[in-house]
Structure 1
Amino acid sequence: MTSVEDLKAELARVREENAALTRARDEARRERDELRTAILGMPAAIGVMVGPEHVFTLVNDAWRALEPSYEPLGKRLVDVIPPPLGPRIASMLDRVLQTGEPLIAANVPFSFPGSTERRFITFHYSALRRESGEIFGIVFHGMDVTRQLRAQEEVQSLNSRLRTLLALAENAPDGIVVTERGRVTYANPAFRRMSGYGQEIVEATLPDLIDDESWVLLEARRQEGGASPGAVQASVTCCRRDGSTFPGEVSAFPIRDEGGQIDAEGAIFRDLTERRRAEQEQQSLQEDLIAAQQRAIRELSTPLIPLARRLVVMPLVGTIDSARSEQILETLLQGIAAHQAAVAILDTTGVRSMDEQVASSLLRTAGAARLLGTEVILTGISPEVARALVEIGTDLSGVVTRGTLEAGVAYALGRRRRSKRGS
């Protein structure tokens, strides 16, 4: 028979066990609540699904943020996420539930049904097991990495652009310089070559690269402003490190940050030495060409034609000015000497008008020819020209005149025959 003392001891033991169980239960509840709180507050999306139909028993705020219109608790996966995405995910989870092998994927593109936004997610589907090892559910852990991937793409795009810009600057034929707080921080190979500074260009300032007059010009242009504030362009004299200079063209402009604040200044230099040399050569060639054309025109405008032995004709056409009168005199005297002409016919049929200057020029030409022993015949005098000669009082004594070139030629040939008979 059990004594009262034994009953009391057993009651105390039971009470102690109950207290221990209560403490264990409370500790388990605390741990569960802490774990639940931690899961709900995690930045990663967490979802727990149980059973073969994958019924949601827990999701945190990050899971809901993937698609706020979905309310999953107590619902099957295929009822929460409509086709075709829901059934496709369920078929993958069936394998996890059957084999216990986790499903892991990174940067998976997806779009919820009805949404046009393309997003990316990195996720893990892992099996939930009881102490016996039996699989009873699946836990989902996922991170929406859309922002990170897009940021990486932007960084890659920016790096690509920077590489392109750097390659452009490094291979540009013109000099490119960047200054910060007045000092050069970058100069491309073309400018280092044209300036003779080499790598030591980073110690220079922009005023070191052009002469004082050019710097004053740039500052004046900067003050004038324009369509692009702070941007200036001018022809300048550039300075090399050894003190020599070369003609150049510079375009200077501010470099602004994303906020629009100026944090640097760029300048593009172009060496104009070869261009200036080519321009000078072209100008010299053009002047030579013009001179040759003028010589050709003078020769064509004052032709000397030998008609017979010791007989030459010079037809005059157009307007005769002082420069052309000198050409007429020079051509006639050279022709007389070259052909040993005894008679020279000056035909004025094509002369538009005759003024005192033209008349004096012709008389001077005739006088010079007579000094060489050549008789000058003036032909083709029109009535208008004859009247003008009379009005200005031109003295044509000593000069044989004929109305037409034909008459003048006949006279000259007749004179030569008479000379032969007399001899």
Structure 2
Amino acid sequence: MRLLRLAVESSGAQRGALILERGEGLRVEAVAEDGAEVRVGPPALVGESGAVAPGVIDIVRRTRSSVLVGDAAQDARLAGDGYVAARRPRSVLGLPMVSQGRLTGILYLENNAAPDIFSPARLDLLELIASQAAVALENALLYGRVQATSDVIRRDKDALEAAVAERTAELSAAKARLEEELAERARVEQARAELQDDLIRIQRDRLAEMACPLIPITDRIMAMPLIGTIDAERANQALETALRGVSDAGAQVVILDITGVSVVDSAVAATLLQTAAALRLLGAEVVITGVRPQVSRALVSLDIDLGGLVIHATLQRGIGYALQRTGEAPRLVELASRGPRALRDVPR
């Protein structure tokens, strides 16, 4: 609930509330008063909580846009709002929390002392806080779902092992029946293992898509595999990671591998060009790898010129080129020929 406290303190609000979508409707989960601790729960429906103006919440829910009310008592949109009539708040602000196109909650702020407390400058900051809260909430819900699934698997496993142990003891005298029970146990164990592997794969894919790792291959060569979708946030992350890594390590060659990039468009090309230009200023050469035939056709159709960059079709070839450029090929050429799986064995 630190985000709620931060929103109240940084906005000039006297009180605020965090409202979350729980499937059965929007519920007030926490309320923060200026100078007091945040009160959490029990959750209450918006119209029954008495903590927020339902009219403001309804507008935000329908429009998924911020609602700024300079003086609630004079705003025609809230003429029939019982909360406004009873408590007569002045400045009111409702901010949507949207993640992946879905409304996950609403941040509600009010000030009863004066009108027009929430200025446009404060609104920008508060919308940023609301967006960060939406991302944090989505991650927490994802973690909760994964944890719940893991708990179910663990309980099923414990129950299965107990049942198998009991059944084995009961059927120990009959070899044929015992073999049948062992076969059933193996089948269920295999299903459990496959389900667990699927969960691990989903988690690994999620983390890999969000990451921009910079892998040191040698003291002079570093590689950055880009995976998934490249948006503005990931482009900035890739650029900052590459600049920081080259500056700290003094690398001469940086390999940007786009084998795992799901879509190659102008945004991806811009990321490559910007990163290459910035690294050249630090004295590092950039090598692009993972350019498959369909990727080449996409770049040509977008009329994007990568002529100033060194490009190789595979990461293996890019590593070989980098080793030649740094003069380290005699020591590592055998390792480079083994491909990406050998990177973790490189002595540094």
TM-score (norm 2): 0.38
Larger Rg: 1
Structure number with the higher helix fraction is: 2
Structure number with the higher strand fraction is: 1
Relative contact order (alpha carbons < 8 A, sep ≥ 6): 1 or 2 greater?
Answer: 2
TM-score (norm 1): 0.32
